[in-house]
Chains A and B, each alone.
Chain A
Amino acid sequence: MRLKLAATAAIALTAMPVAAFADGEVNIYSYRQAYLLEPLLNAFEKETGIESNVVFAKQGLAERLDREGRNSPADVVMTVDISRIDELVERNLLQGITDNKILNKNIPENLRHPDGEWFALTTRGRLIYTSKDRVEEGAITTYEDLADEKWNNRICTRSGKHPYNIALISSMIAHHGEADTEKWLAGVKDNLARKPQGGDRDQIKAIAAGVCDVAIGNSYYYGNMLQDENEREAAETVRLVFPNADGRGTHINISSIALTKSAPNKDNAIKLMEFLSSAEAQRIYAEANAEYPANPNVKPVGMVAEWGEIHPDSISLQEIADNRNAAVKLVDRVDFDGE
């Protein structure tokens, strides 16, 4: 037994990937699953010959980057929520890129940090799903409507503490103030058909099951379900609503990329950022994960285009990030996730 273990260990040791510092590489700390980045990074390598190395985790990467300090191998951080990237700004772990013509041309001003500390790559709308059978078209058109008594016992959502819901609540605070948002959130809680649970896909499935009639979820989950033969049937029972389309616009969140302060491969990192903002990469994003490209010159494709145009809320993402703590505490105060 011991011999076998030793042999296995030896094989594994020799095959172990070595941390990359050599030229021609770029190192990524990612809050997004590595397999979702793969097509993009492959295209990048094909075009530039630069290899990418990835560590994916949903927690702890900020601490790791911080503690590793000036010796950190990470060149860029990729995130899927405005709060995650804002945390890195607050902790002074990023460096701004202000004078890059390509990035500034590809990414509109409202989708990048004022000092170029981060750049959005895609946006995703936080939408309302309604049952095609049980909810008339146009019966619900705004986030504010979710607190209306007529939806009593008919709404489903994931945990109020999930970053996507926190960002939505933050945007409500930005628009209505904390006191009114608390009333609204308490109203939504009263309307819940079940305790918040699962992911966004589970809410669509709950509508299909008749557990509830209205749900909150990101646009691309619906798109992904339509593409999965086992889940298509459930997805086809719901209708997409772009909330507040006629008013201030639909709440959006971003996935983004940022250059670390310590980046050892800075030039390669900037090349990667430029590439990911380019039309070619933005198209891959849009096709593979049903998201909205941040680059205004790339139009949504396929089914995302069929859903109709999205009118994003024009509020600054920074303001949403600034209201994060207030939103988290609000969720606790109305006991949103409680029984």
Chain B
Amino acid sequence: MSEAATGANIAPAQPLHIKRTSKRWLIAAALITAIVALPVLAVIYLAFFPDENIWPHLMSTTLPRYLVTTLKLMLGVGILALGIGLSSAWAVTMCEFPGRKYFEWAMLLPFAVPAYVIAYVYTSLLDYAGPVQSALRAVFGWTSAADYWFPEIRSLEGAILMIGLVLYPYVYLLARAAFLEQSPSLFAVSRSLGHSAISTFFRVVLPIARPAIAVGLSLVMMETLNDFGTVDFFAVQTLTTGLFDTWMNLGNLGGAAQIASVMLIFVLVLVTLERYSRRRQQQFAARDNREPIRRFTMSFPRQMVCVAVCGIPVFLGFAIPGATLATYAIEYFSESWNPDFIQNTLNSLFLSSAAALTTLVIGVTLAYSRRLHNTRGMQVLMRLSSLGYAMPGAVLAVGVIVPLAGFDNWLDSLMRDYFGFSSGLLLSGSAFALIFAYTVRFLAVSAGSVESALQKITPSMDMASRSLGHTPGKTLVKVHLPMLRGTLVTAALVVFVDCMKELPATLILRPFNFETLATYVYQFASDEKLFHSALPALIIVVAGIIPIILMSRSISNSRAMN
């Protein structure tokens, strides 16, 4: 259907693989994948050496419950993120309503709030001693918790809401970019054939945007599956609860690695199913999207619906936590202010930008290699390189330590044996280890979005460039990269914001006396006093806002440019 709709399709084969193309790209992709997949492979390796077989105990006790809760959580967050992400992306792209221009970027703001921070904020607001319940008690004259019913924020529903509110921007971001790329004429054609706007949305718009939405949704799902901080705080027990229990309480790292591997398989099955279900679809953008989008003009009540659809998520996901943090930052300013902040902020910025650039370069290399060599083998490499996202950060950190410390000690032994001196640890416990960990973890984000954007560029572009005598490398630089500009900036900035928030791997792998904003905040949060560090928590959020605005501008510009 989408083939007919886009009209510019070429048979769904892979006409790009020209025999004489050198294997350089393939070799580069294989090498990168080999390095990037090391931590995940290390975890799988550890899974072969459990201290004891953990499964009989887990199966007969908590595992069924963990599994059901995990599925409910993923399903709930998935539905919430899709609902908010798609409806708001559609509204700001296709409808005219007051504040639309601001919502274009404001929809992304909740992405800057770390999930553990939003969870902490809402708990403090909604628990018994918090302002909401205190006000209710004052108004109605209740005296204790037994006098009235109030929804429990520390619950599965609470966790779904919190995680959904900060993760929906993944779906929004990718869906909006996809909607912007669609040719308005498609929509017009569908309407002229008698479809209603809603029917057109489901039958034309969504199927074409599906690869991008699938990437966004799978990022949401994986991040949810791996979350430990938020669910632990809300006493919601998922597979990660079982994993950390096995690791930390039973001291059985191998058993924990087995659970991580099972979660990995789970993710792989999901991703494969989604891809299999659209195996026969292939789509390239018709090159006629210079045509400006004509937004719907709507009645006032409908405009208000749009304002609500966009406003409520931003209000709940950003305005409330931001304002609460700001209030506490003022109240606890003397305890919060610390000259180390500037250093911590610089550390966060340095690591995040280095990791964002690295993942971008690697992501482009992999996605472009896949375009040149669309073979089964290349697909496997692509999937392998993205597995880091499907593992809890702390487990991945152990996976990073194994090869890095292994390499350091191997080199050290060599030096001692042949040259009589010790080279010590070079990579382990360095900033490199952190950037490596971030790259492994967030490569899926950049590789995924670059790949899905690259798929939309018709192969005739490549052929034209190649027939004019350009090498694949030159074609990439001259043709693809300029066309992908919006996607590239977005991918880099998403990784940047993700790195700013990253916590578990940073804690374990960092050098001595090294704090990022996130680890600094966590010290206090883990000691049950997050508000003593409200100021740095606020800085994480603010530091995330700037790239978010840049990101949104680059998406809008990408269309204006066309």
Name A's B-contacting residues (CB within 8 A): 1, 5, 8-9, 11-13, 15-21, 27, 33-36, 53-61, 63-64, 67-73, 83, 87, 90, 159, 161, 163, 166, 195-202, 205-206, 208-211, 221, 228, 234, 324-325, 328-329, 332-333, 335, 337-338
CA distance A321 to B527 in the complex (A): 23
CA distance A13 to B350 in the complex (A): 7
B-side contacts of A328, CB under 8 Å: 245, 249-250
CA distance A54 to B515 in the complex (A): 10
CA distance A296 to B247 in the complex (A): 35
A sample of 28 inter-chain contacts (CB < 8 A) reads A11-B350, A12-B350, A36-B527, A54-B512, A55-B429, A56-B507, A63-B398, A64-B429, A64-B508, A68-B409, A68-B425, A71-B409, A71-B412, A71-B424, A83-B249, A90-B251, A159-B235, A195-B235, A197-B235, A200-B528, A201-B528, A208-B128, A209-B129, A211-B146, A325-B249, A332-B62, A335-B61, A337-B235
Is B32's CB within 8 Å of the partner chain A?
A: no
CA distance A148 to B398 in the complex (A): 44
Contact indicator A73/B425 (Cβ below 8 Å): yes
Contact indicator B61/A210 (Cβ below 8 Å): no
User: Could you mark each residue 227-242 of chain B with 1 if its beta carbon is under 8 Å from any beta carbon of chain A, else 0?
Assistant: 0000000110100010
Closest B residue to A61 by beta carbon equals B508
Contact indicator A53/B251 (Cβ below 8 Å): no
CA distance A210 to B148 in the complex (A): 11
Residue in A55, A61, A163, A199 whose beta carbon sits within 8 Å of that of B511 in the complex: A55
Is B464's CB within 8 Å of the partner chain A?
A: no
CA distance A204 to B527 in the complex (A): 15
CA distance A16 to B514 in the complex (A): 8
Q: A21-B424, A73-B429, A201-B528 are in contact. Are A209 and B353 (CB under 8 A)?
A: no
Q: A8-B350, A34-B523, A337-B237 are in contact. Are A68 and B429 (CB under 8 A)?
A: yes
CA distance A200 to B529 in the complex (A): 12
A-side contacts of B353, CB under 8 Å: 5, 8-9
Closest A residue to B398 by beta carbon equals A63
Q: A197-B234, A209-B144, A332-B57 are in contact. Are A33 and B523 (CB under 8 A)?
A: yes
CA distance A339 to B425 in the complex (A): 47
CA distance A56 to B511 in the complex (A): 10
Contact indicator A56/B523 (Cβ below 8 Å): yes
Contact indicator A35/B346 (Cβ below 8 Å): no
In order of increasing CB-CB distance, the 10 nearest A-B pairs are: A12-B350, A210-B144, A53-B512, A197-B235, A209-B128, A60-B508, A332-B61, A67-B405, A57-B507, A12-B346
Task: Tell me which residues from 310 to 356 in chain B have a Cβ below 8 Å from any Cβ of chain A.
Answer: 343, 346-347, 349-351, 353-354
A-side contacts of B528, CB under 8 Å: 199-202, 221
B-side contacts of A234, CB under 8 Å: 129
Name B's A-contacting residues (CB within 8 A): 57-58, 61-62, 65, 127-129, 143-146, 154, 234-235, 237, 241, 244-245, 247-251, 253, 343, 346-347, 349-351, 353-354, 357, 394, 397-398, 401-402, 405-406, 408-409, 412, 422, 424-425, 428-431, 504, 507-515, 519, 523-524, 526-529, 550
Q: Is the interface of A mostly helix, strand, loop or mixed?
A: helix
B-side contacts of A163, CB under 8 Å: 248-249
**Distance of B539 from chain A, by nearest CB (Å):** 15
Contact indicator A69/B409 (Cβ below 8 Å): yes
Looking at B343, B430, B507, which has the most chain A CB atoms within 10 Å of its CB? B507
**Distance of A312 from chain B, by nearest CB (Å):** 24
A-B pair count, CB < 8 Å, reads 181
**Distance of A293 from chain B, by nearest CB (Å):** 20
B-side contacts of A221, CB under 8 Å: 528
**Distance of A244 from chain B, by nearest CB (Å):** 24
Residue in B58, B406, B527 whose beta carbon sits within 8 Å of that of A33 in the complex: B527
Contact indicator B62/A60 (Cβ below 8 Å): no
**Distance of A136 from chain B, by nearest CB (Å):** 18
**Distance of B72 from chain A, by nearest CB (Å):** 13
Contact indicator B401/A59 (Cβ below 8 Å): no
CA distance A200 to B550 in the complex (A): 43
Looking at B146, B347, B519, B528, which has the most chain A CB atoms within 10 Å of its CB? B528
B-side contacts of A70, CB under 8 Å: 409
**Distance of A337 from chain B, by nearest CB (Å):** 6
CA distance A163 to B244 in the complex (A): 12
**Distance of A108 from chain B, by nearest CB (Å):** 27
Contact indicator B251/A67 (Cβ below 8 Å): no
B-side contacts of A332, CB under 8 Å: 57-58, 61-62
**Distance of A176 from chain B, by nearest CB (Å):** 21
Looking at A198, A199, A228, which has the most chain B CB atoms within 10 Å of its CB? A198
Contact indicator A87/B430 (Cβ below 8 Å): no
Contact indicator A55/B510 (Cβ below 8 Å): yes
CA distance A5 to B348 in the complex (A): 12
Contact indicator B248/A5 (Cβ below 8 Å): no
B-side contacts of A161, CB under 8 Å: 241, 245, 249
Q: A63-B398, A69-B409, A205-B127 are in contact. Are A335 and B62 (CB under 8 A)?
A: yes
CA distance A324 to B154 in the complex (A): 28
Contact indicator A59/B508 (Cβ below 8 Å): yes
Contact indicator A17/B527 (Cβ below 8 Å): no
B-side contacts of A335, CB under 8 Å: 61-62, 65
Residue in A8, A16, A71, A324 whose beta carbon sits within 8 Å of that of B431 in the complex: A16
Contact indicator A166/B523 (Cβ below 8 Å): no
CA distance A242 to B64 in the complex (A): 38
CA distance A33 to B524 in the complex (A): 8
CA distance A67 to B508 in the complex (A): 13
Contact indicator A71/B425 (Cβ below 8 Å): yes
A-side contacts of B350, CB under 8 Å: 8-9, 11-13, 16
Residue in A1, A17, A206 whose beta carbon sits within 8 Å of that of B128 in the complex: A206
Q: A15-B343, A64-B508 are in contact. Are A196 and B235 (CB under 8 A)?
A: yes
Contact indicator B235/A35 (Cβ below 8 Å): no
**Distance of B404 from chain A, by nearest CB (Å):** 8
B-side contacts of A18, CB under 8 Å: 511
Contact indicator A55/B512 (Cβ below 8 Å): yes
A-side contacts of B507, CB under 8 Å: 56-60
Residue in B146, B244, B401, B430 whose beta carbon sits within 8 Å of that of A63 in the complex: B401
Closest A residue to B514 by beta carbon equals A17
**Distance of B124 from chain A, by nearest CB (Å):** 10
CA distance A333 to B347 in the complex (A): 45
Looking at A35, A87, A166, which has the most chain B CB atoms within 10 Å of its CB? A35
Q: A33-B527, A87-B251 are in contact. Are A73 and B402 (CB under 8 A)?
A: no
A-side contacts of B349, CB under 8 Å: 8, 12
Contact indicator B394/A17 (Cβ below 8 Å): no
**Distance of A184 from chain B, by nearest CB (Å):** 18
Contact indicator A17/B512 (Cβ below 8 Å): yes
**Distance of B481 from chain A, by nearest CB (Å):** 14
Contact indicator A63/B253 (Cβ below 8 Å): yes
Given A19-B425, A19-B511, 20 additional A-B pairs, CB 8 A: A11-B346, A15-B346, A17-B511, A19-B429, A20-B512, A21-B424, A33-B524, A55-B512, A57-B507, A64-B508, A68-B401, A73-B424, A73-B425, A73-B512, A161-B245, A324-B249, A332-B62, A333-B61, A335-B62, A337-B235
CA distance A224 to B405 in the complex (A): 40
CA distance A215 to B495 in the complex (A): 43
Closest A residue to B152 by beta carbon equals A194
CA distance A54 to B402 in the complex (A): 21
Contact indicator B526/A58 (Cβ below 8 Å): yes
**Distance of B498 from chain A, by nearest CB (Å):** 16
